[in-house]
Amino acid sequence: MKTKFVEAVVKIHLKDFKCKESEYEWANLGDGDVDWQAVREACSEIGYSGSATIELKGGDGAYPREVSRRVDRLVLGRT
């Protein structure tokens, strides 16, 4: 991985997509085509320990809790 601008990374933005021919369709975290293991590895490789924002569709009160569980699993590698 190129690390020229590592010091400039102060926050990451999490969002998932499904690839459709020449465009992308928004998807819930973990339901799209993002390679979350590669994201975890890249963050680990550069020693990233900053904050992250998550872009969400609307939902009921249970949805943010589910997203939190998905972030734990997908981004932090927790089971």
At residue 1, the pLDDT reads 61
More confident residue, 70 or 5: 70
Q: In a 3-state reduction of DSSP, which class is residue 23?
A: strand
Question: What percentage of the chain's residues is helix, strand, coil (to nearest 5)?
Answer: 35, 25, 45
What six digits make up the tokens of 42? Answer: 């890249």
Give pLDDT tens digits for 6-37.
778 889 999 999 998 889 998 989 999 999 99
At residue 7, the pLDDT reads 79
Rounded to two decimals, the pTM is 0.77
Q: Residue 10 in contact with residue 50, Cβ under 8 Å?
A: yes
Q: What is the mean pLDDT of the chain?
A: 87
Helix (H) or strand (E) holding 63, with range, is helix 62-74
